[in-house]
Structure 1
Amino acid sequence: MDRDRGSLWIEEPVGRPRMPDPVRTAAVRAALVLSVTLVETVVTLLFALSGSWLAFPALLCTVASTVAATWGVLDVWVTRQVWNQRHGVVSVPSSTAREVRRARARPAAR
């Protein structure tokens, strides 16, 4: 292997910045709950097809997990909205959040 041609690791610019930590944490939590829900759904289906008595308790657990997964997705959405509102992330130039940030910065500059 010829190492004179460059390093093995090449940094490439990302199209958008990474998510804030609270939003990323909520997204990971939601993804884990969703994956468990999908596994429970498959297990419930297999129990039902085999005629096992465990099909009904598994169905109840799957319904509860579906509610939890919905809650997790809503948690990601609400956490993202709260983060944007508290930290003044703006999407248009005439945003009031930008004006508030400028007003806070003016006294500090004097």
Structure 2
Amino acid sequence: MSMGTAERRGAPEDGGAARVTARSAPEAPEREIPAAVAGRPARERPDRPEEREARERPSGYRPLWREEPARRRRLPDPVRTAAVRAVMVVAVTLILAMVAFLSTMAESWLAFPMVIASVAGTVVATWGVLDVWVTRQVWNQRHGVVSMPSSTARAMRRERRRARRQARSAERGQGRIARRGGGAGRLSHS
């Protein structure tokens, strides 16, 4: 008799618990181990989180899923906030529309207020979706270099580079002045 990944073998005759054996998951190959660490014995290697978790788990434990790196980068915070807000508004609007439809079918007094509310919800939901789009465009314009000559981000980066260059040249100038004027109290080197 199979029970998922574990199997029961033999019925206990003395009333004790049945022995449970589990198939072990295939070990994941070690990835990206630095050469300095790879040559050391296992007890000297620094613990990776996966190895520590594996030691703390009971034997026969098999995880339900394996963590994988994300394929796409996470949305910027303002864009994600606008998207969550838009999804919630759209969900509430859909609920209002469904209640309006069912109330109309049942010929309830609630039908008219629900129709008005769902129309208002549609306007707000449209605003929410447009807000996501505008927020995304603004974020890209300010933080990501869009391949357009009018990109604000490119101009801002150019200004920052210029300011850093000027600061470095000013430091170098101060260093030269300090090295030349080696004698205390000397104003000029004539």
What TM-score, normalized by structure 2, do the two folds share? 0.50
1-structure distance, mates of 2:78, 2:126: 18
SS of the residue aligned with 2:147? coil
Larger helix proportion, structure 1 or 2? 1
| Partner residue in 1 for 2:132 | 76
Deviation at residue 75 of structure 1 after TM alignment? 1.1
Higher relative contact order (CA 8 A, sep 6+): 1
1:60 aligns with 2:120: no
More strand by share: 2
The answer to whether residue 62 in structure 2 is matched with residue 5 in structure 1 is no
What is the alpha-carbon distance in structure 1 between the residues aligned to residue 24 and residue 149 of structure 2?
Answer: 53
Instruction: Tell me the CA shift for residue 99 of structure 1.
Output: 5.1
Aligned to 2:96: 40
User: Per-residue displacement from partner, 1:14-48 (whole Å, max 9, x unpaired)?
Assistant: 1x321100100100010011011111111100111
The CA distance in 1 between the partners of 2:121 and 2:69, in whole Å, is 39
SS at match of 2:109: coil
Letter in 1 for 2:118: T
Alignment root-mean-square deviation, CA: 2.3
Give the partner amino acid of 2:145. V
Change in 2 beyond 3 A, CA 1:13/1:41: closer
Aligned residues: 108
Write out aligned runs for 1:11-50 (5 A). Answer: 11-14=68-71, 16-50=72-106
Residues 44-82 of structure 1 deviation map (CA, whole Å, 9 limit, x = unaligned): 001111111110011111111111101111111121122
Q: Quote the residue 1:101 is aligned against.
A: 157
Amino acid at match of 2:109: W
Change (3 A) 1:79 1:90: same
Amino acid across the alignment from 1:58: M
Give the letter for the 1:5 counterpart.
E
Q: Which runs of 5+ in 1 are unaligned?
A: none
